[in-house]
Chains A and B, each alone.
Chain A
Amino acid sequence: MIDRDTVLHVARLARLELTDGEVERMVGELGGVLEHIETIAQLDLDGVPPTTHVVEVANALREDEPRASLSRQQALAGAPAVADEGFAVPSPQA
């Protein structure tokens, strides 16, 4: 069963802040959903290959041909913060 520490650990991995109340709620809700999901543990799946793609296709590649890039103005148009012709973020080294 999923506990508070697990929820906090997963929230950190997912970069999601949760309030104390949200953590409590998440413990209950995820636990409830996982209980239903865990029914697949009972199935005998030995020797069954996993399906990642429903259609058997390989090598859908592109030729090494250039396509037009966006202008810097277009690239930065939606950015919440811009500085020095780039996307500004709080420094990871700070």
Chain B
Amino acid sequence: MSGLIDLSASQAAAAIKRGEVDPGALFDLYRQRAATDSLNAYTWVAEQAPKAPPQPSLGGVPLAVKDLFCTEGVPSQSGSRILEGYRPPYTATVVERLAQAGAPLLGKTNQDEFAMGSSNENSAFGPVLNPWDRARVPGGSSGGSAAAVAAGLAPWAIGTDTGGSIRQPAALCGIVGLKPTYGAVSRYGMIAFASSLDQAGPLTRDVSDAALLLSHMVGERDPLDATSLDFPEPIAMPSRRTLAGIRLGVPSELTGEGIEPGVLGAFQATLELARQLGATVESCALPHAPHALAAYYVLAPAECSSNLARFDGVRYGYRAADPDDLLSMYERTRHDGFGVEVRRRVMLGTYVLSSGYYEAYYGRAQRVRTKIAADFAAAFERFDFVVMPTSPCVAFELGSKLADPYAMYLNDFLSVPASLAGIPALSIPNGLASPPGGGTPLPVGFQLAGPAFSESQMLDVAFALEQALGFDGRAVRS
């Protein structure tokens, strides 16, 4: 049966449709693997396959789902102690749509608490280990989804990306991760981190799987999410072999300082490969991109400080025992229920919104956001896509960045510009590179960002690069 593990999700779906693979057997195989997971990638695994809808287009290929997606009757804690034992009475729109399309829920995956983190170390369930090197982090916040897909504990997975939470762990685990255009995928039922930035997307072994999964996540807008949008056209399956006529812009601000030499080397090698495939590769400017991280660390904490106010010990989840009064119930519940990083961001967000500081921080950050979106819009007049590394570093050692919050935040500086602009961005495996001190080579990500709703074309270009790169991630799926 181990041959089944080597099938990509699209291949498995096709094999099921041809009658060569039994979807029940496929589910059981992955269920077994997930249940014996030693990476701490899962927080919950299904007992058995749910009853499949008739003739599902995804055939019944099971799906790993980040903990923060609400799933009816199934633990959904967003990696937090404050939601201890919480089982929602409803299911997130995107999980429901995928189940209807034939991607049944395999299990819930570990994540940084409330999606705040870049290492998956901020989880009430403990850290996830990187299957390439178990002493290292898988990235975050969708670390469980990324590790599960990389290690063959799931055929594919969904996660969420606020400032890089799909792309960065995908890069660090050697898989594909796509953050769609803001609004393309319903946020209904996604436990919010930062509402104006959160977006669900696929984490998959290859570009074709990403396209197939995405095609069932987008479509008609969700009437339950006021910010969701109709996707203008169906997602096309990628097939491109060359890059003739494709113009790639390389922003100098995001391809120089602060990036590990190994990561930069792999990036430049792939630019050369793109040229060989026929692409035009030229440098471009995103003048405000260096300020994106600062703006992001105002906007996201501000929104999270408000989004997380509902965790008050009144209606669900954890409540501190024997409170003296209402105030102490609130304060102790939230102290004990939230982890250190969440508390830090709630404090930061409360501070920047508080009386007298709004305009200096939140107001300015929103204006920086306008400038960043304008920078991208200008770049897309000359280029089809802007490309840069996904993460400035390969997977780092567990615990190595916990002492300095800002050092951890710096992991996001290549991914947050596209988040602030609300545009789609994709990370594909870009080979391996050794960490700065030397050692076993680890996965690197190559990132593309495109105009809103350019997902099909972006996946098509990524497919051509993927085929030419020929990355093999099978080693960690044993």
Q: A residues bordering B, Cβ < 8 Å?
A: 2, 6-7, 9-18, 22, 26, 29-30, 32-34, 36-41, 43, 45, 48-55, 57, 60-62, 70, 74, 77-81, 87, 89-92, 94
Cβ A50 vs Cβ B366 within 8 A? yes
Nearest 3 pairs of A and B residues by beta carbon: A54-B422, A50-B366, A78-B316
Cβ A17 vs Cβ B315 within 8 A? no
A55 to B350, CA, bound (A): 26
Interface centre among A41, A45, A51, A89 (most CB of B within 10 A): A51
Contacts of B334 in A (CB 8 A): 14-17
Select one of A9, A16, A34, A40 contacting B368, CB under 8 A.
A40
Cβ B361 vs Cβ A50 within 8 A? no
Q: List 25 A-B contacts (CB under 8 A).
A: A6-B351, A10-B354, A11-B331, A11-B347, A14-B346, A15-B330, A15-B331, A16-B331, A16-B334, A16-B346, A17-B334, A30-B344, A30-B348, A33-B348, A36-B409, A43-B364, A43-B371, A49-B370, A51-B373, A53-B227, A54-B369, A54-B422, A57-B183, A70-B89, A78-B316
Cβ B325 vs Cβ A37 within 8 A? no
CB-CB under 8 A for A55 and B422, given A37-B298, A40-B364, A78-B87: yes
Q: Number of residues in B with C-beta < 8 Å to the partner?
A: 72
Interface centre among A6, A32, A36, A41 (most CB of B within 10 A): A36
Cβ B323 vs Cβ A90 within 8 A? yes
Contacts of A60 in B (CB 8 A): 221, 226-228
B313 within 8 A of A: yes
Cβ A33 vs Cβ B405 within 8 A? yes
B255 to chain A, nearest CB (A): 20
Contacts of B363 in A (CB 8 A): 50
Cβ A52 vs Cβ B366 within 8 A? yes
B7 within 8 A of A: no
B16 within 8 A of A: no
A92 to B314, CA, bound (A): 13
For B292-330 the 0/1 string (1 means CB < 8 A from A) is 011101100000010001001111111100011111111
Cβ B347 vs Cβ A62 within 8 A? no
Contacts of B382 in A (CB 8 A): none
A86 to B55, CA, bound (A): 44
Contacts of B309 in A (CB 8 A): 15
A26 to B343, CA, bound (A): 9
Cβ A79 vs Cβ B315 within 8 A? yes
Cβ B367 vs Cβ A45 within 8 A? yes
Which residue of chain A is the closest to B316 with respect to CB atoms? A78
Cβ B364 vs Cβ A45 within 8 A? yes
